Amino acid sequence: MSDDGSSRARSTLDRAADRVLDLTVLERLAIATASTLLALLIGLVIVAAAGYDPAEFLGAMFEGSFGDRSATARSLKFATILILTGVAVAIAFRAGVFNIGVQGQFVVGGFTTIVTILWLAPMFPEGPTGGVLLIGLGTLAAIVTAGAYAALPGILKAYAGANEIITTIMLNFVATGVVGFLVEGPFRGEGNRAPNTARLPEYVSFPRLVYDNPDFSVVGFAIALLVVVLIAVLMVRTTVGYDMVTSGYQQSAAAYSGVDARRTIVSTMTLSGMVAGVAGAVFAIMIQGYYSDPGGIGTYGFDAIAVSLLAANNPLGVVPAGLLFGGLDSAGSYIGINTDIPIQLIDGIAGLVVLFVAAPELFRMAAKRTGLGGEGR
């Protein structure tokens, strides 16, 4: 075949691949949208069956998620952490490695951030400059320690054949137990009745821009979006990202192309943990300002699995998925305080969303039977 003919053939294949990719993205978007709407519809039916007003429930959900500036800030607060932890999960899942230990890495990163800042604070000048430097160093410490903690199950999988699902789950308990002991004992703040570390200095915090909310800053949300963009570029546009995906799904193909599959698996887990460390740092600085018993800080690392599934493990898709689950969390808080409707209904809707996303074949079958799906899809 001539060079021109070969070029035309490659061009045709590239266009065909692009069309397939577009259809896949559209299909996933349709599944996510249908899952959310169907879960909400079933939730409203359950609300009505339980004797509550579905219209009141729907109105309270909207009011509690994005109804005013306070609700919006609360939703964005939850979404910020869910986006970061969701990206951490997506990195591993997209590369065929199951990092169920993001919760533990999140805890390790947050605790390390607080301890590092408290230790270094006397060495830096007070004020905005010192605050920025301490935040940067604390976040860097979180990235290093959480990345190293995530590398452990990666090494065990790559070089010992250990199941990473089991090892990461068990390391969650290790992180929670050890950090809980340290917070209650050696690192407990002087005079604290509760098992908390000392508080960060006032100047070590994110500026409260746009929203006057003590637990949320658009700086934290901007950090989350920046991480999303960086990871998306890394995974899609670089050879490093390609090697990660190939090593996770096709180790033989990766080895044939000269990629060290074992080393790449370890680096994938490490990168996932590093992002979880950023999530822990943002949580510790933006929301808490100290560190408490990790048993009561929330299950962001576990909720991130649902966020990643809804986003089809796409770093960019994690943003709308995180906003959805952040809005649901915020609505749950509002409904629990301002109405007599059980807050468990919100959890039920979130669970239904995940259930339907995990069963995409249901929607493909429905589309085929109604004539909305393409042949052979």
- Are the beta carbons of 113 and 139 closer than 8 angstroms? yes
- Are the beta carbons of 353 and 35 closer than 8 angstroms? yes
Structure tokens of 319? Answer: 């943003």
What would the 3-class secondary structure string for 343-365 be? CHHHHHHHHHHHHHHCCHHHHHH
What mean pLDDT comes out for the span 141-162?
96
Give residue 266's domain range: 69-369
What's the pTM?
0.87
| pLDDT of 84 higher than 50 | yes
- pLDDT at residue 373, rounded to an integer: 52
- Classify residue 216 by its DSSP letter: B
Query: How much is the CA Rg of the chain, to the nearest whole Å?
Result: 23
Chain centroid offset of residue 20 CA? 27
Task: Please list, in sequence order, all residues whose beta carbon lies within 8 angstroms of the beta carbon of residue 18, skipping any fewer than 6 positions away.
Answer: none
- From the list 203, 192, 182, the residue with the least C-alpha distance to 115 is 182
Burial (CB < 10 A; 0-12, 13-18, 19+), residue 147, is: buried
In a domain, 40, yes or no: no
Burial (CB < 10 A; 0-12, 13-18, 19+), residue 63, is: middle
**Segment 28-59, tens digit of pLDDT:** 677 778 878 888 888 889 888 888 888 888 89
The rounded distance, in Å, linking the Cα atoms of 322 and 229 is 15
Which of 94-108, 254-268, 305-319 has the highest mean predicted lDDT (pLDDT)? 94-108
- Are the beta carbons of 28 and 302 closer than 8 angstroms? no
Q: In whole angstroms, how far apart are CA 9 and each of 6, 21, 250?
A: 5, 18, 26
The rounded distance, in Å, linking the Cα atoms of 163 and 61 is 40
- CB-based burial, 333-372: b 16+ in 10 Å, e otherwise: bbbeeebebeeebbebbbebbbebbeebeebeeebeeeee
- Are the beta carbons of 261 and 255 closer than 8 angstroms? yes
Q: Which neighbouring-strand residues pair with 196?
A: 292
Which of 210-219, 346-355, 362-371 has the highest mean predicted lDDT (pLDDT)? 210-219
Report the SS3 class of residue 196: strand
Total domain count, the chain: 1
Chain centroid offset of residue 110 CA? 15
- Classify residue 162 by its DSSP letter: -
For the domain that residue 332 is a member of, what is the CATH number? 1.10.3470
In a domain, 230, yes or no: yes
- pLDDT at residue 127, rounded to an integer: 93
- pLDDT at residue 29, rounded to an integer: 73
In a domain, 11, yes or no: no
In a domain, 58, yes or no: no
What mean pLDDT comes out for the span 346-370?
66
- pLDDT at residue 87, rounded to an integer: 98
The rounded distance, in Å, linking the Cα atoms of 249 and 93 is 10
In a domain, 297, yes or no: yes
What mean pLDDT comes out for the span 329-341?
86
In a domain, 87, yes or no: yes
| pLDDT of 194 higher than 90 | no
Mean pLDDT estimate for the chain:
86
| pLDDT of 370 higher than 70 | no
The rounded distance, in Å, linking the Cα atoms of 224 and 221 is 5
Task: Please list, in sequence order, all residues whose beta carbon lies within 8 angstroms of the beta carbon of residue 166, skipping any fewer than 6 positions away.
Answer: none
In a domain, 93, yes or no: yes
The rounded distance, in Å, linking the Cα atoms of 74 and 286 is 12
**Segment 91-146, tens digit of pLDDT:** 999 888 999 999 999 999 999 999 999 999 999 999 999 999 999 999 999 999 99
Which runs of E-coded beta strand occur in 116-159? none
In a domain, 344, yes or no: yes
| pLDDT of 175 higher than 50 | yes
Q: In whole angstroms, how far apart are CA 168 and each of 26, 147, 149, 175?
A: 33, 13, 10, 10
